[in-house]
């Protein structure tokens, strides 16, 4: 009818219908394809969860084996991609590197662009699920100055990720079950979150029929920001700063509440969760267990718990319904696993990959129109052009 209402940040705008993920922010419920994340985190592995998100149901044994075998048959990444990685300075942020390499993959997999059938879609999906962990492993190994290796097809999907990230040259590789279980859990809990910033980005880029890998590369860039996935890195840096400052949590609480200070308590607050973030609940418990099982005593965990307690009884946070989110405790686990702080958001991207794929696939199969929001123009009215010499 020509009437446009604006909704900055799309706080009350639905962009699509979706059958992928159910989220009730008041009750703290999150389900993928109907399956509760609490049960998935306890009983499923990451690849099963990815299958359920992408194809709608948990797989049978046969379906899972075929899926994994199809993924394994695409696990090589062209050596020229390695050369692109080598050209980045060692100081480059891993999220920028990952986004660039994901986009670069398009050049070596042109069939991932013009997707017009379910077969072409499936082929692009298994390719990226195979190659993305290689890029993640390479990005981390380059940072650590390690030889860039490929995976091992005899390993499970998550074990293989660990192999590519952690295997030292001349060292036998043994899967540490504590790290494997924790990694599965973290990846599952990050796997989808309906129409968040990066997922909406993937859908909107994909809606122009740009290729899958280009859409994912855009999603990675969106995830990088500290208000979104980048918060997990920012949380750890904040906790480190508090530790260096003698553990003065009160000072940081005051900064977070000061409207003249841009500082925010990182890992706190959520657009949709207004009572608790169910992912944070599981991750907090896992952080305790993993550090205990690995025999790691990290003073940062105590600072985090103290900060959470203070915030939960502070009227500023209570009134605004600000609770710890998924990013508040995840970094403490990544750190105990030996993952560098600036790789944390890459781990988030690795977990979110199936969700992005599932949402992109749904958007294409539903033949959604190109995303194209409107605006209310607030600029100058018509004015006459003035020649350069006369301005």
**Catalytic sites, residue numbers:** 270, 327
Q: Which of 161, 182, 265, 332 binds ligand CMC (CB under 6 A)?
A: 265
Quote the least distance from Cβ 317 to ligand CMC, whole Å: 7
Of the candidates 106, 117, 59, 54, the residue with the CA atom closest to the CA atom of residue 81: 106
Q: Is 201 in the site for ligand CMC (CB under 6 A)?
A: no
Strand 35-36 with 21-24, pairing = unpaired
Q: Which stretch binds ligand CMC (CB under 6 A): 54-62, 114-122, 317-325, 331-339?
A: 317-325
Q: Which stretch binds ligand CMC (CB under 6 A): 129-137, 147-155, 163-171, 320-328?
A: 320-328
Of 164 and 350, which CB lies nearer to ligand CMC in the complex structure?
Answer: 350
In the region spanning residues 219 to 248, those forming contacts with ligand CMC, defined by CB under 6 A, are 227-229, 231
Other C-beta atoms within 10 Å of 133: how many? 23
Q: Which stretch binds ligand CMC (CB under 6 A): 20-28, 83-91, 265-273, 382-390?
A: 265-273
Q: Which stretch binds ligand CMC (CB under 6 A): 32-40, 95-103, 170-178, 260-268?
A: 260-268
Of 82 and 228, which CB lies nearer to ligand CMC in the complex structure?
Answer: 228
Q: Which of 165, 239, 242, 266 binds ligand CMC (CB under 6 A)?
A: 266
Q: Which of 206, 267, 351, 355 binds ligand CMC (CB under 6 A)?
A: 267
Of 211 and 331, which CB lies nearer to ligand CMC in the complex structure?
Answer: 331
Q: Is 325 in the site for ligand CMC (CB under 6 A)?
A: yes
Quote the least distance from Cβ 275 to ligand CMC, whole Å: 14
Give the number of residues in contact with ligand CMC, rule: CB under 6 A.
Answer: 20
User: How far is the C-alpha of 108 from the C-alpha of 96, rounded, in Å?
Assistant: 19
What length does the chain have? 391
Sheet holding 21-24, edge to edge: 21-24, 29-32, 35-36
Of 76 and 241, which CB lies nearer to ligand CMC in the complex structure?
Answer: 241
Q: Exposed/middle/buried for 231, CB within 10 Å: 0-12, 13-18, 19+?
A: buried
At 29, phi and psi to the nearest 5?
Answer: -110, 135
Q: Which residues contact 356 (CB under 8 A, 6 or more apart)?
A: 198, 199, 202, 215, 216, 219
For the record, the structure tokens of 143 come out as 């940072």
Quote the least distance from Cβ 169 to ligand CMC, whole Å: 34
Q: Is 351 in the site for ligand CMC (CB under 6 A)?
A: no
Q: Which stretch binds ligand CMC (CB under 6 A): 14-22, 32-40, 295-303, 318-326?
A: 318-326
Q: List % helix, strand, coil for the chain (3-state, nearest 5).
A: 60, 5, 40
Quote the least distance from Cβ 382 to ligand CMC, whole Å: 36
Of the candidates 185, 152, 164, 131, the residue with the CA atom closest to the CA atom of residue 353: 131
In the region spanning residues 8 to 37, those forming contacts with ligand CMC, defined by CB under 6 A, are 9
User: How far is the C-alpha of 122 from the C-alpha of 102, rounded, in Å?
Assistant: 17
Quote the least distance from Cβ 259 to ligand CMC, whole Å: 7
Q: Do 77 and 134 form a contact (C-beta atoms < 8 A)?
A: yes
Quote the least distance from Cβ 331 to ligand CMC, whole Å: 11
**8-state DSSP, 350:** H
User: How far is the C-alpha of 24 from the C-alpha of 31, rounded, in Å?
Assistant: 9
Distance (Å) of CA 387 to CA 277, 379, 384: 58, 21, 10
Q: Is 195 in the site for ligand CMC (CB under 6 A)?
A: no
Quote the least distance from Cβ 152 to ligand CMC, whole Å: 31
- The residues that touch ligand CMC, with contacts defined as CB under 6 A, are 9, 196, 227-229, 231, 256, 264-271, 320, 322, 325-327
């Amino acid at each position: 009818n020509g009437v446009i209402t604006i909704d900055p940040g799309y706080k009350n705008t639905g962009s699509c219908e979706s059958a992928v993920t159910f989220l009730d922010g008041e009750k703290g419920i999150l389900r993928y394809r109907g399956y509760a994340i609490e049960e998935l985190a306890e009983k499923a592995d990451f690849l099963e969860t990815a299958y359920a998100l992408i194809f709608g149901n948990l797989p049978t044994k046969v379906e899972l084996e075929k899926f994994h075998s199809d993924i394994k048959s695409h696990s090589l990444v062209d050596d020229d991609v390695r050369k692109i990685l080598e050209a980045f300075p060692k100081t480059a942020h891993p999220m920028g590197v990952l986004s660039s390499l994901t986009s670069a993959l398009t050049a070596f997999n042109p069939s991932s662009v013009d997707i017009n059938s379910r077969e072409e879609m499936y082929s692009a999906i298994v390719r990226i699920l195979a190659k993305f962990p290689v890029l993640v492993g390479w990005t981390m190994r380059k940072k650590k100055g390690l030889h860039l290796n490929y995976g091992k097809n005899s390993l499970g999907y998550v074990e293989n990720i660990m192999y590519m990230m952690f295997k030292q040259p001349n060292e036998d590789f043994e899967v540490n079950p504590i790290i494997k279980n924790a990694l599965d859990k973290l990846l599952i809990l990050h796997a989808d979150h309906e129409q968040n910033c990066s997922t909406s980005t993937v859908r909107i880029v994909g809606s122009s029929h740009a290729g899958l890998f280009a859409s994912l590369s855009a999603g990675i860039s969106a995830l990088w920001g500290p208000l979104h996935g980048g918060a997990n890195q920012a949380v750890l840096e904040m906790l480190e700063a508090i530790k260096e400052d003698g553990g003065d949590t009160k000072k940081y609480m005051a900064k977070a509440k000061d409207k003249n200070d841009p500082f925010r308590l990182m890992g706190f607050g959520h657009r949709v969760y207004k009572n608790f973030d169910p992912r944070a609940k599981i991750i907090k418990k896992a952080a305790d267990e993993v550090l205990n099982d690995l025999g790691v005593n990290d003073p940062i965990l105590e600072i985090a718990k103290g900060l959470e307690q203070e915030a939960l009884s502070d009227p500023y946070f209570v009134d605004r319904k600000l609770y710890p989110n998924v990013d508040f405790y995840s970094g403490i686990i990544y750190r105990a696993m030996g993952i560098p702080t600036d790789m944390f958001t890459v781990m988030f991207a690795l977990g979110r990959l199936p969700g992005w794929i599932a949402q992109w696939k749904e958007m294409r199969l539903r033949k959604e129109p190109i995303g194209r929001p409107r605006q209310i123009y607030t600029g100058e009215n018509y004015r006459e052009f003035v020649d350069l010499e006369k301005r």
